Amino acid sequence: MAEALKGALVVGQSGGPSIVINASALGVIRTAFASEHITKVYGAYHGIDGVLDDKLMDMDEAGLIELDKFMYSPASALGSCRTKMPDPKDDDTKYRQVLEVFKKHNVRYFCYIGGNDSMDTCNKISKYMKSVGYDCRIMGVPKTIDNDLFGTDHCPGYGSSAKYIATSIMEVARDAAVYEKGAVTVFECMGRHAGWLTAAAALANVNGHCLDFIYLPERDFDMDKFISDVKSCYEKNGNCNIAVSEGVHYADGSFITEVAASATDGFGHVQLGGLAAYLAAEIKNRLGLKTRGIEFSLLQRCAAHCSSGRDVEEAYMSGRAAVESMLEGTTDKMVGLECVRYPHGGFDSHTVLFDLDKVANFEKKVPLEWINEEGNNVTDAFIEYALPLIQGDSPVRMRNGLPDYTDYNKVFAD
Amino acid sequence: MAEALKGALVVGQSGGPSIVINASALGVIRTAFASEHITKVYGAYHGIDGVLDDKLMDMDEAGLIELDKFMYSPASALGSCRTKMPDPKDDDTKYRQVLEVFKKHNVRYFCYIGGNDSMDTCNKISKYMKSVGYDCRIMGVPKTIDNDLFGTDHCPGYGSSAKYIATSIMEVARDAAVYEKGAVTVFECMGRHAGWLTAAAALANVNGHCLDFIYLPERDFDMDKFISDVKSCYEKNGNCNIAVSEGVHYADGSFITEVAASATDGFGHVQLGGLAAYLAAEIKNRLGLKTRGIEFSLLQRCAAHCSSGRDVEEAYMSGRAAVESMLEGTTDKMVGLECVRYPHGGFDSHTVLFDLDKVANFEKKVPLEWINEEGNNVTDAFIEYALPLIQGDSPVRMRNGLPDYTDYNKVFAD
């Protein structure tokens, strides 16, 4: 056990929000509150930008009732940013700023909740602090609906978005099938390079078939094959439901909507609709079927009313583990999850640590062996992987028939 | 009390589905099962089309476990249609077909669950049966997310869609506000002529402000005023969230997207995106702000995982009341809801009956006095009206971490 380091802790949130990013922050904050070594808990306003600008929120002032709501409130309650830190060898200005603020508030613990880029920020700050001999412990807490982080079995945030996507597809597919004459519905999920969220659409079939095809960016997209898939499915069933990843691309790497934008009229009108709308129009034009494109857009990363109870718990657990590890002397790591999947749905997860070096800037994709040969669906291996992650109800609390989300009153430190 | 009429009952669902249309069907079916006068309960496959084609499902064969799921399953479990019945004076072919099927199966009770058009169908069949002296009782059960039916305080289906819209806006608005640089988000809700669903967006502010403007089809839309509203809001708050009804139109009655389609390039590319995408692009072009359009599309009428418990109960109650009334000798009516709103949120509702004549083909709009003077929001009177309708949790049952919706095995009568 390393010598106890006495000082303040800063927790920050970075990158696109997730449904459970505040549960992770709460895990950090509550564990820090409980430690005799941590003298003060600050929230960084808009991630690393808040550190750079010395805009630190005093988390004592948030109040316990408001903090309780972090457990189930979507979006980044502390504020987020997309700031990338430069290589300190090229320019160490920002690192010196961080050091100055850390010194000013005697910050000895820093937790950053985010995805690949945020882990890169963590890693760089950690290395810099070591290089200048400033004693502090730095830990990354994983967060990304994209589920693309190295090492960890899955990322907090993914299970809840997966649950929302599967639930919504189950509902819409049933709605779209009520008339005698069927329809083709295209669902667009987030995921530029990794198809995890789109693959989650397969979970919509667990309680009865309703989704027919899934196209991921891990495989090249072939428009003719796609149209022929839809045609034969519709001819057979009188309906067709399809999930596509925003990042699907042709064999030459160009994104579908990019090609569509330049091919149609060059005025950029295609930006009006996304991929789902474009593919729906393509199907309508080529096959003359009734179609509809549905883009889950931001809904899929903030639908906390439909979160996975397990995901929320794991997010909290990850935040807690980060602080506990730092108190034990660990630094320069990311918390990850290691899981055991027992037969008949049994599942266990616990936290493990990964080197930030390895996590930073790596994107984990859906294994190709989990995609079927035709490239238009996922295999049962994916279902076995993902189904445990969406279990358990959302812990959301209601007031006036609506979620009682936090809008806490930010009080800044001097 | 009229003489008891012995015979079969047919229940049908018509028009666009709602979140609670199956709860209404269940109210009809269970009440019919319990009556000694009703000899058999049939579901009409795809509404009146199922009667015309003699495709009646034997509801005994559905099984009680599967029927239980009707209470919380979205979409029309019996199948729906958009068939409009002609004036029998012009052509009575279809009416004679209905009569023949009614006679064949000794149908003496007919319940039709739907909106304005369905009530018109009900009304015409009722009048025809009376004119040919066929003794049967006919009753309409209201269903429409549009909430535009005559007489009734509100329509089953509306409360749940309203709850989903308000909840989703609460979530997305928080997500869209996490970065230092804000965004403008445009939410598009259904409602061609009546703005009830869009007005429900105002409920997103009940637990803390997040929605800034609401534009309904009840008032003419002025693009310059709209842009100026957004501009001043963004300048003040650094963010702007807007709900628009798909049916917003200029003073001359033309829909915004129609005008956009003809004005931009004439190739009809605008169909790729809906109104939300178009307005988002307009704001981006004119004000240079980061924007996003979110269309709730079918999601808003099938999100049973987020339904209002009160809405589900009232839907069931309406179906039950329809059968009870017919058993008491009533015919040619629609069930409606009469409500009392007590101070401090107290609320009571009970069923009443309305003449089908009055209901058929009438559209009830949002009262103009519930829209603010500027035409960019609703008043507190709307909140007092709508808030009671979204209370109570969804009774949805889960299996495998996902809703356990019905996909019941349809068994047809001989």
pTM: 0.97
Closest chain A residue to B296 measured between Cα atoms?
A294
Is B198's pLDDT higher than 50? yes
Q: Indicate the pLDDT class of residue B257, thresholds 50, 70 and 90.
A: confident
Closest chain A residue to B171 measured between Cα atoms?
A302
Is B263's pLDDT higher than 90? no
H/E segment holding residue B338: strand B333-341
State chain B's maximal CA–CA distance in angstroms: 72
Q: Indicate the pLDDT class of residue A144, thresholds 50, 70 and 90.
A: very high
Decide if A402 and B203 are in contact by the 8 Å CB cutoff. Answer: yes
Contacts of B271 in chain A (CB under 8 A): 281
* 3-state SS class at A314: helix
Q: Assess: ipTM above 0.90.
A: yes
- The mean per-residue pLDDT over the stretch A375-391 comes to 98
**Whether A148 contacts chain B with CB within 8 A:** no
Question: From CA B161, how far away is CA A122, in angstroms rounded?
Answer: 43
Return residues 13-42 of A near B (CB < 8 Å): 13, 17
Is B146 in the active site?
A: yes
Decide if B401 and A391 are in contact by the 8 Å CB cutoff. Answer: yes
Decide if A265 and B265 are in contact by the 8 Å CB cutoff. Answer: yes
Decide if A402 and B170 are in contact by the 8 Å CB cutoff. Answer: yes
The number of beta carbons lying within 10 Å of the beta carbon of residue B129 is 21
Decide if A179 and B267 are in contact by the 8 Å CB cutoff. Answer: no
* pLDDT (tens digit per residue) in A342-370: 988 899 999 999 999 988 878 999 999 99
Burial A335-360 (b: 16+ CB within 10 A, else e): bbbeeeeeeeeeeebebebbebbebb
Return residues 74-93 of B near A (CB < 8 Å): 74-76, 79-82
- The mean per-residue pLDDT over the stretch A254-282 comes to 69
Question: From CA A403, how far away is CA A180, in angstroms rounded?
Answer: 37
Average pLDDT, chain B: 94
Return residues 102-141 of A near B (CB < 8 Å): none
What pLDDT does B265 receive?
42
What is the gyration radius of the CA atoms in chain A, in angstroms?
A: 23
Contact by Cβ (8 Å): B175, A17:
yes
Strands (E), B130-205: 137-142, 184-189
Strands (E), B29-161: 38-44, 56-58, 107-114, 137-142
The residues pairing with A295 across neighbouring beta strands, listed in sequence order, are A188
What pLDDT does B345 receive?
81
Contacts of A207 in chain B (CB under 8 A): 399-400, 402-405
* pLDDT (tens digit per residue) in B136-171: 999 999 999 999 999 999 999 999 999 999 999 999
Contact by Cβ (8 Å): B193, B364:
no
- In this complex, the residue of B76, B269, B401 whose CB is nearest that of residue A269 is B269
**Whether B66 contacts chain A with CB within 8 A:** no
**Whether A308 contacts chain B with CB within 8 A:** yes
Question: From CA B128, how far away is CA B221, in angstroms rounded?
Answer: 43
What is the percent of chain B where pLDDT is above 90?
91
- In this complex, the residue of B174, B180, B304 whose CB is nearest that of residue A405 is B174
What pLDDT does A261 receive?
64
Q: Indicate the pLDDT class of residue B4, thresholds 50, 70 and 90.
A: confident
* pLDDT (tens digit per residue) in B379-401: 999 999 999 999 999 999 999 99
Return residues 151-210 of B near A (CB < 8 Å): 163, 166-168, 170-172, 174-180, 185, 203-204, 206-208
Is B221's pLDDT higher than 70? yes
What pLDDT does B272 receive?
42
Question: From CA A165, how far away is CA A38, in angstroms rounded?
Answer: 39
* pLDDT (tens digit per residue) in A10-49: 999 999 999 999 999 999 999 999 999 999 999 999 999 9
Decide if B46 and A393 are in contact by the 8 Å CB cutoff. Answer: no
A-interface mutation test, from B402, B406, B407, most A Cβ less than 10 A away: B402
Which residues have CB under 8 Å from A209's CB, separation 6+?
none
What is the percent of chain B where pLDDT is above 70?
96
| B194 φ/ψ angles, rounded to the nearest 5 degrees | -115, 135
What pLDDT does B414 receive?
80
What's the full length of chain A, in residues? 414
Q: Indicate the pLDDT class of residue A269, thresholds 50, 70 and 90.
A: very low
Decide if B298 and A174 are in contact by the 8 Å CB cutoff. Answer: no
A-to-B residue pairs, Cβ atoms closer than 8 angstroms: 200
Q: How far is B33 from chain A (nearest CA, A)?
A: 25
Catalytic residue among A146, A212, A311, A332: A146
What pLDDT does A343 receive?
86
Contact by Cβ (8 Å): B170, B207:
yes
Contacts of B208 in chain A (CB under 8 A): 405, 407
What pLDDT does A312 receive?
98
- In this complex, the residue of B292, B400, B407 whose CB is nearest that of residue A298 is B292
Residue with the two structure tokens 């509100």: B154
* pLDDT (tens digit per residue) in A224-261: 999 999 999 999 999 999 999 999 999 999 999 877 76
Burial A127-158 (b: 16+ CB within 10 A, else e): ebbeeeeeebbbbbbbbbbbbbbbbbbbbbbb
* pLDDT (tens digit per residue) in B361-384: 789 999 999 999 999 999 999 999
Q: How far is A235 from chain B (nearest CA, A)?
A: 19
Is B133's pLDDT higher than 50? yes
- In this complex, the residue of B297, B301, B391 whose CB is nearest that of residue A292 is B297
Q: How far is A7 from chain B (nearest CA, A)?
A: 28
Decide if B170 and A301 are in contact by the 8 Å CB cutoff. Answer: no
- The mean per-residue pLDDT over the stretch B186-207 comes to 97
Catalytic residue among B49, B91, B120, B146: B146
- The mean per-residue pLDDT over the stretch A109-125 comes to 95
What pLDDT does B235 receive?
97
Strands (E), B344-412: 347-355, 398-399, 402-403
| B175 φ/ψ angles, rounded to the nearest 5 degrees | -60, -40
Q: Indicate the pLDDT class of residue A336, thresholds 50, 70 and 90.
A: very high
Return residues 357-396 of B near A (CB < 8 Å): 387, 390-393
Residue with the two structure tokens 């459970």: A20
Question: From CA B100, how far away is CA B89, in angstroms rounded?
Answer: 18
- Compute the half-sphere exposure of residue A215: CA atoms within 13 Å on the CB side of its CA: 26
Decide if A294 and B298 are in contact by the 8 Å CB cutoff. Answer: yes
Decide if A299 and B179 are in contact by the 8 Å CB cutoff. Answer: no
Is A266's pLDDT higher than 70? no
What pLDDT does A2 receive?
56
**Whether A397 contacts chain B with CB within 8 A:** no
- In this complex, the residue of B204, B298, B305 whose CB is nearest that of residue A292 is B298
What pLDDT does B270 receive?
40
Question: From CA B161, how far away is CA B300, in angstroms rounded?
Answer: 5
* pLDDT (tens digit per residue) in B37-60: 999 999 999 999 999 999 999 999
* 3-state SS class at B326: helix
Closest chain B residue to A163 measured between Cα atoms?
B402
Question: From CA B390, how far away is CA A46, in angstroms rounded?
Answer: 34
Cα–Cα distance list, A116 to A53, A127, A155, B81 (Å): 23, 17, 11, 49
- In this complex, the residue of B75, B166, B306 whose CB is nearest that of residue A177 is B75
Contacts of A274 in chain B (CB under 8 A): 273
Q: Indicate the pLDDT class of residue A263, thresholds 50, 70 and 90.
A: low
* 3-state SS class at A371: strand
Decide if B302 and A401 are in contact by the 8 Å CB cutoff. Answer: no
**Whether A347 contacts chain B with CB within 8 A:** no
**Whether A256 contacts chain B with CB within 8 A:** no
